Chain A
Amino acid sequence: MGSLRLVTILLFLGSPAFAQSPTYGVGRTPTAEEIRRMDISIGPTGEELPPGRGTAKEGAQVFEQKGCIACHGPAGLGGMAPELQSKKGHDVPIWKRERILPLRSPFATTVWDYINRGMPAGNEGTLTANEVYSLTAYLLFVNKVIPEDEVLDQQSLPKVKMPIGDDYGKLHEWKPNTPRLEGYPY
């Protein structure tokens, strides 16, 4: 009797139904609308960008209205918070210029993502999409990445050519139980 039960169990363990990973069925499926509302991760393709538009001229006004100047200084210079405008010329290689997000980032979408989730300090998450497009345009303009009249929106923002181009190190493929850098430091 006992051994028969054991055989039955062994048979079940070997069956395809048991080989599959179990489904716990815990939790719920969020709606597409819920995901859209919480998904503030804007990737390099810009596929998550919301509708809206803005220019550097509008951004200059938002920069003043939203109190950005109080921390970053007029036009992003001379404040206590990180400076947002490069003082070095285009002839200086990008890695020798200042570490300024709207200058050194490989993608303009990262500038949009950062302002949208992290600014202004103390009132994060309160900017409208138009305001974020405008501020992004303004900061890219003061760093001479785009002209003053360029309109940034869902389509144009991901296409902005950043000065760094492809000139940055890419992360290697991480593998478990593998030295972080083969042959380092001997």
Chain B
Amino acid sequence: MDSKRTNRRELLKGGAALAGGVTLGELAASQAQAHDHPMTPGSENASPMILGSKELVEYGQRSRYVTSVRIQHPPGGRPSPDLFGKVFHVASPLQDSVGVITPSSLHYVATTRGSYMPDIDPKLHTLTIHGLVDQPLTLTMDDLKRFPSVTRLHFIECAGNRHTPQQKTVQETHGMTSCAEWTGVPLSTLLKECGLKGSATWFVAEGAEEVKGASSMPISKAMDDCLIAYGMNGEALRPQQGFPVRIIPPGFEGIFHTKYLRRIKVVDRYYMNYNDFGHLRPDPKELALSEQIGPKSVITYPSGGQQLPGRGFYEISGLAWSGGGAIRTVEVSTDGGKKWNLAELKTTPQRMAHVRFGYPWTWDGNATEILSRATDEIGQVQALREQIAQWWNVPVERNYRVPGLDNSVMPWKIAKDGGVTNGLA
């Protein structure tokens, strides 16, 4: 009771001081001194305070000391934004990531040809399902939110997420993957509502952006786990992620995750629309390797460009994921791949979601190479580039390009001075 009254009095004092033009530092110091309770040791060195503003009250911001940002991908490639304000490929700062959720502001971004980001009024946006269904359906965003929802963690990874000897950091080698919590309606719910005809085998998902980007996907995927998502990390999708609604076909290459979803057409064949042509390959094996993403992992700490301060204890930390299901195990090698050790999974593995792994390591100060490899719940094992080349019966050269999506093992070299560099270089 007593302290409450004092606090109010101090608050008034503080307001007067602010009006009188005292500096923030003085204000913070006077507030600390005026506190009812004895100061705890060290509190006299209290940091300057961050003043609340309307903006900060309404929508928070990170500390100005946290400066981790996305970068254009690949470095030296097509700039984002370009002269016309278009965004092409932007990579997430995995080297600074903790846990498994990528903040929406740091989620990687990709567009098929650097499309404009449409500024969609959700009140005017509709999703129409038609084609080989008994009853076509048009839904407003309000309609969509009336259906029973699900919330799931899922990664999205771009086919351009390839590691090469030229790249320096894990943001450059692996930053085109991200993981978010998505909320929406299972596509199977909506398709059952429409009634699928017996001849339905594929569907085309189409966006509302200027090029109306579209991809064909198997109807078996739609009925298994596709999500029509309007929520991301506890709020509405960001425009860079397809506001107001996108499709999440979990574990499929990023390009299939059509943003600004306006239409789903149920068809009886691979429809060869827009993005479909780009997937064509002479060899069906290579084609199969560029639809569902394979098991993959990467060490994010220590990683390229970082510096170990000296010998001693480190927890090696990284991310693992698979388009085939949940991650079952991750192994880490600290001796260039001679011995593989089981890593600890720091989060509960979920289907088609990043899992965080850790491995306790005491560095003896000698040069070495650290690697990780993931195994998923259906038994797929992440392979070394050498093993992949052997399977295809081709020599493994320095710039060897893994067919389909590159899910090969990523090595990081640790030098005697603690410098970390790309092990492919």
Measuring CB to CB, which residues of chain A are less than 8 angstroms from any residue of chain B? 21, 23-24, 26-30, 34-35, 38-44, 95, 101, 104-107, 109-110, 113-114, 117-118, 122, 124-125, 167-181, 184-186
Contact = CB atoms under 8 A, between A and B. Distances in A.
Given A176-B220, A180-B294, A30 B130 contact: yes
A117 B214 contact: yes
Contacts of A107: 272
Given A118-B211, A170-B284, A44 B272 contact: yes
Interface stretch (B4-12, B19-27, B61-69, B377-385): B377-385
Contact of B128 (A38, A177, A181): A38
B274 interface: yes
Interface of A: prevailing SS? loop
A30 B282 contact: no
Interface in B112-168: 113, 128, 130, 135-140, 143, 146-147
23 contacts: A24-B147, A26-B139, A27-B193, A30-B130, A30-B138, A34-B138, A39-B263, A39-B265, A40-B212, A41-B263, A41-B265, A101-B277, A105-B277, A110-B272, A110-B273, A117-B214, A168-B281, A171-B288, A177-B325, A178-B324, A179-B324, A180-B294, A186-B387
Given A178-B324, A180-B288, A184-B285, 20 more contacts: A26-B139, A26-B193, A30-B137, A35-B128, A35-B136, A39-B263, A41-B204, A44-B271, A101-B277, A104-B280, A110-B276, A114-B277, A117-B214, A118-B211, A122-B210, A124-B212, A171-B284, A174-B218, A184-B289, A186-B391
B9 to A, nearest CB: 56
B121 to A, nearest CB: 17
A106 B137 CA distance: 31
B274 A117 contact: yes
Interface residues of B, number: 64
Contacts of A35: 128, 130, 136
Interface in B285-311: 285-289, 291-294
A171 B136 CA distance: 27
Contact of A125 (B113, B210, B387): B210
B379 A26 contact: no
B214 A29 contact: no
Given A35-B130, A174-B292, A169 B287 contact: yes
B192 interface: yes
Contacts of B383: 185-186
Contacts of B139: 26-27
A118 B212 contact: yes
B417 interface: no
Given A41-B206, A171-B288, A29 B271 contact: no
Contacts of B210: 122, 124-125
Contacts of A109: 272
